[in-house]
């Protein structure tokens, strides 16, 4: 999928010894869809890298408890200002930081009802297997489709840049997965509709050729 982008191409023409003439022309350049997605992902990557400066921090309320402060929210001084990175009205990322954890919530583009159903089913399938993904929450933040929770224990056991790469790769692939599932559903629906209409035609042909129909038709013509 490509989008046209308007670009100004200019050149300098020397007309006289002391004067320069600028000439402009309009050039339409076709940029791929991934080129428009890249600045959005770069902004998410840079924000995540800054937010993942986590450290081990025990609860200030309950003794000998160590909970993700971004989830517990018991001490406001330990929470960072939430950041929303939006590509459009339907695609955005909410990054909530704290001293020992970061919560990343993603809203996926859903253009029609089919994509809404596919996105809901796909996200539900993943969240039911959250323990296999380690950082995936079983329930997303309200207003978003899926959420990840990264704690200081994750950054101690895993490479921080790999965690960021995982989130970015997920954002890159989710639109492709939903588009492929939508094409598959449309193809199956087309095949089912063709088979249904074929069976209806055969039933109508058999019904019209039955002796009772022929007798009634002959009687009406008399």
Say if residue 21's pLDDT is above 50.
Answer: no
Instruction: Reply yes or no on whether the pLDDT at 52 is more than 80.
Output: yes
**Which residues have C-beta within 8 Å of that of residue 185, sequence separation ≥ 6?**
114, 118
The pLDDT of residue 3: 42
pLDDT number for residue 154: 94
Hey, where are the domains in the chain?
Answer: 36-205
Model confidence at 107: pLDDT above 80:
yes
Q: Residue 16 pLDDT > 70, yes or no?
A: no
Per-residue pLDDT tens over the stretch 127-153: 999 989 899 999 999 999 999 999 999
Is the CA virtual torsion 162, 163, 166, 168 positive or negative? negative
Q: Is the pLDDT of residue 10 over 60?
A: no
Question: Among the CATH numbers 3.40.50.12780, 3.30.1460.20, 3.50.30.30, 3.90.226.10, which is that of 36-205?
Answer: 3.30.1460.20
pLDDT score for 214: 52
Prediction pTM value? 0.71
Closest CA to 70 of 15, 159, 147: 147
pLDDT of residue 203: 78
What pLDDT score does 111 carry? 84
Average confidence (pLDDT) over 70-92 = 91
Q: Which of 150, 149, 148, 152 is nearest to 54 (CA)?
A: 152
Question: For 1-15, 32-46, 190-204, which range has the lowest pLDDT when averaged over its residues?
Answer: 1-15
Average pLDDT, the chain: 81
Residue 168 has pLDDT above 90, yes or no: yes
Spatial CB neighbours of 187, under 8 Å, sequence gap ≥ 6: none
pLDDT band at 8, cuts 50/70/90? very low
Residue 98 pLDDT greater than 80, yes or no: yes
- Residue 38 and residue 6: Cα distance in Å, rounded? 18
């Amino acid at each position: 999928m490509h989008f046209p982008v308007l670009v100004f191409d200019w050149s300098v023409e020397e007309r006289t010894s002391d004067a320069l003439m600028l000439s402009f022309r309009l050039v339409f350049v076709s940029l791929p869809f991934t080129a428009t997605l890249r600045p959005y992902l770069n902004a998410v990557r840079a924000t995540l890298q800054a937010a993942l400066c986590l450290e081990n921090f025990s609860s200030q309320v309950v003794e000998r408890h160590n909970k993700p402060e971004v989830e517990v929210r018991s001490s406001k001084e330990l929470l960072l200002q939430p950041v929303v990175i939006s590509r459009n009205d339907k695609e955005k990322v909410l990054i909530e930081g704290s001293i020992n954890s970061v919560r990343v919530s993603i809203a996926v583009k859903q253009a029609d009802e089919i994509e809404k159903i596919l996105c809901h089913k796909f996200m539900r399938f993943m969240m039911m297997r959250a323990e296999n993904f380690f950082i995936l929450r079983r329930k997303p933040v309200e207003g978003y489709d899926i959420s990840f929770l990264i704690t200081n224990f994750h950054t101690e056991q895993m490479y921080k840049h790999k965690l960021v790469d995982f989130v970015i790769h997920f954002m890159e692939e989710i639109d492709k997965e939903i588009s492929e599932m939508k094409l598959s559903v449309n193809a199956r629906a087309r095949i089912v509709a063709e088979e249904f209409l074929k069976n209806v035609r055969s039933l109508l042909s058999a019904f019209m050729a039955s002796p009772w129909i022929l007798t009634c038709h002959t009687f009406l013509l008399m």
